[in-house]
Amino acid sequence: MSDKVSIVFAALADPTRRTILSMLLEDDMAVTDVAHPFQMSLAAISKHLGILATAGLITQEKRGRVKWCKLEPDALREASIWMQGFGQFDRIDLDAFERFLETELSPPADHTP
């Protein structure tokens, strides 16, 4: 599961991590403060933050003994593009897109209904 989009979606698939991202929408936070509202251990939150950082969804910068977590919404861009292409494809030029698929891409197996 090494491609970038997979890593981002996997990071978003956990409600704890999505909540953390929502918290960071308001402001940068220290690891301890991120962990405070949750019932789980600090180490568990630290792992979640590591996963979010690996996905590029946050960056972490240590100042003094405090490590600050900052939301990086640009990391959502590719995944968001992927989703919107599907989720709202009736609002874009689907015919043109299907022509593109037929001409530019190698077609998968034949599947006449």
Partner DNA sequence: GGCATATTCAACCATTTGGTTGACGGTTTG
Partner DNA sequence: CAAACCGTCAACCAAATGGTTGAATATGCC
Give the Cα separation of 45 and 51 in Å (integer): 10
Q: Which does 47 bind (CB under 5 to 8 A by kind): a copy of itself, DNA, none?
A: DNA
Give the Cα separation of 95 and 78 in Å (integer): 23
User: Burial of 90 by CB count in 10 Å (0-12 exposed, 13-18 middle, 19+ buried)?
Assistant: exposed
Q: Which residues pair with 29 in a beta bridge?
A: 69
Nearer to a copy of itself, 43 or 107 (CB): 107
Q: CB 7 → a copy of itself: shortest distance, Å? A: 8
Point out which residues bind a copy of itself (CB under 8 A). 1, 3, 5-6, 9-10, 12-15, 18, 21-23, 25-30, 33, 36-37, 68, 71, 73-74, 76-94, 96-98, 100-102, 104-111, 113
